[in-house]
């Protein structure tokens, strides 16, 4: 690997971030929305939700792909890929990462997604049924594919390093960032753009998730439907968005004078091996992911200042995550603040982990923890400190960010403050 070499001492830092979410377009707007406790959930506007058991979502509003893409390109690009392209360009601009002939093949991209181009799939299927196969668009096939987001970013930036997609349902974002860091650590890249994107607020997605009773049916009060850790939670609210981080090898970042936002010191990935959709009720898989992230980061449980929870607002997940945190922290569990930004934007599926990585890094930078909103009646099974009073000011040196997915996939990222 050229200038940095390889070896066990390679450290990975975050030097730039980009985001698109239901509370803001851009990483700064998204963070400010979270800190303000802004609610991005409302009745679905993308299609008529009246026939559906769940009728609300966290939709990204005001996003115009033609503000940064040519119209023809935008027409042939799936919405989740548009989100990823925007977030990636913002992250690169924020990091001021130079891309030259000398380093472009040492910069890679991993973009995760749980479902990818589902809206295109639905539209193409309707065209097939109503107008026949000869009316199908040749652009539909690549627009559907989850790997195209990473491919499009590599083409936009002209980077030729490791490039692929990663799919692990709602853990996709955490896994994408964690695996990108591993690529840097083993010497296969000096920098990686890593994150995830999702845009699947469609009749099929809403209908199927509702059929399995995963979604909230609080249709008369959408803004209070996502209520992680509350006794009366009844399911998650589907959402969309994207976030991308620029990860760099520490020496590379320092030599070019980059602004270091945080260090990604630990990554844990485990499987529940229990059930297609339900978490292991013992919390064992989630616990092991967090414990491995700490071990890899050479951190003790007593060093954790904040946990960005998966916190989906489903009855099983929130209780099991609480149990796993108690197993990890022991008697200290009650003193570590925990919050879930899904209370404000809903569950953006594959995009969730990368959006919550942005939260983790910004919490370290600013010394502020975003709140968990809508916790009105505490659940006895969820009896920890969920920051329900509004954003909290607190020096944050170490954050754990949890993401758990259907299929029993668990990921945990450990971020640590890094001094200039």
Tell me whether residue 259 is one of the annotated catalytic residues.
no
**Secondary structure element (H or E) that encloses residue 405, with its range:** strand 398-405
Rounded to an integer, what is the distance from CA 410 to the centroid of its chain? 13
Tell me whether residue 310 is one of the annotated catalytic residues.
yes
Cβ neighbours for 122, distance < 8 A, ≥ 6 positions apart: 202, 203, 204
- Catalytic residue, chosen from 252, 310, 382, 412, is 310
- Burial of residue 42, with CB atoms counted within 10 A of its CB: 0-12 exposed, 13-18 middle, 19 or more buried: middle
Separation CA 210–CA 235 (nearest Å): 9
Q: What is the 3-class SS of 85-123, one letter each residue? A: HHHHHHHHHHHCCCCCCCCHHHEEEEEECCCCCHHHHHH
Tell me whether residue 170 is one of the annotated catalytic residues.
yes
First-to-final CA distance of the chain: 26
Residue 418 near residue 297, CB atoms below 8 Å: no
- Catalytic residue, chosen from 170, 175, 252, 409, is 170
C-alpha distances in angstroms, 83 versus 295, 370, 404? 34, 23, 22
Q: Where are the extended beta strands (E) located within 186-295?
A: 191-198, 241-249, 262-271
- CA Rg value for the chain: 20
- Catalytic residue, chosen from 175, 252, 347, 409, is 347
Residue 415 near residue 264, CB atoms below 8 Å: yes
Looking at the annotation, which residues are catalytic?
170, 310, 347
């Amino acid at each position: 690997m050229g200038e940095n070499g390889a070896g066990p001492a390679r450290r990975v830092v975050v030097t730039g971030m980009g985001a698109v979410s239901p509370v803001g377009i851009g990483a700064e707007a998204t963070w400010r929305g979270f800190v303000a406790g802004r609610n991005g959930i409302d009745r679905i506007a993308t299609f008529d939700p009246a026939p559906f058991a769940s009728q609300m979502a966290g939709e990204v509003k005001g996003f115009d792909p033609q503000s940064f893409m040519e119209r023809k390109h935008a027409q042939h690009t799936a919405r989740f890929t548009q989100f990823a392209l925007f977030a990636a360009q913002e992250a690169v601009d924020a990091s001021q990462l130079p891309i030259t002939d000398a380093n472009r093949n040492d910069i890679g991209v991993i973009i995760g997604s749980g479902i990818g181009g589902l809206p295109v799939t639905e539209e193409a299927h309707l065209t097939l049924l109503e107008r026949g196969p000869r009316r199908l668009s040749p652009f539909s096939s690549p627009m559907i594919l989850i790997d195209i987001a990473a491919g499009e970013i590599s083409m936009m930036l002209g980077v030729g390093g490791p490039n692929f997609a990663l799919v692990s349902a709602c853990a996709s974002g955490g896994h994408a960032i964690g695996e990108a860091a591993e690529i840097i650590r083993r010497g296969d890249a000096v920098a990686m753009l890593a994150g995830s994107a999702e845009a699947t607020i469609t009749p099929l997605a809403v209908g199927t998730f509702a059929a399995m009773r995963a979604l909230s049916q609080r249709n008369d009060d959408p803004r209070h439907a996502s209520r992680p850790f509350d006794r009366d939670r009844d399911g998650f609210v589907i959402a969309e968005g994207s976030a991308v981080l620029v990860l760099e090898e520490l020496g590379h970042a320092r030599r070019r004078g980059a602004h270091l936002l945080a260090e990604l010191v630990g990554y844990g990935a485990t499987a529940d091996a229990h059930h297609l959709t339900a978490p292991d009720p013992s919390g064992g898989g989630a616990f092991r992911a967090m414990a491995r992230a700490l071990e890899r980061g050479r951190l003790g449980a007593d060093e954790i200042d904040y946990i960005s929870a998966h916190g989906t607002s489903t009855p099983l997940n929130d209780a099991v995550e609480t149990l796993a945190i108690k197993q990890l922290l022991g008697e200290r569990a009650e003193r570590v603040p925990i919050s879930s930004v899904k209370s404000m934007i809903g569950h953006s599926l594959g995009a969730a982990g990368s959006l919550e990585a942005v939260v983790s890094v910004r919490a370290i930078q600013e010394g502020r923890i975003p709140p968990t909103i809508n916790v009105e009646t505490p659940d006895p099974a969820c009896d920890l400190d969920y920051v329900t009073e509004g954003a909290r000011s607190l020096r944050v040196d170490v954050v754990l960010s949890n993401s758990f997915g259907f299929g029993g996939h668990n990921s945990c990222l450990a971020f640590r403050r890094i001094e200039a």
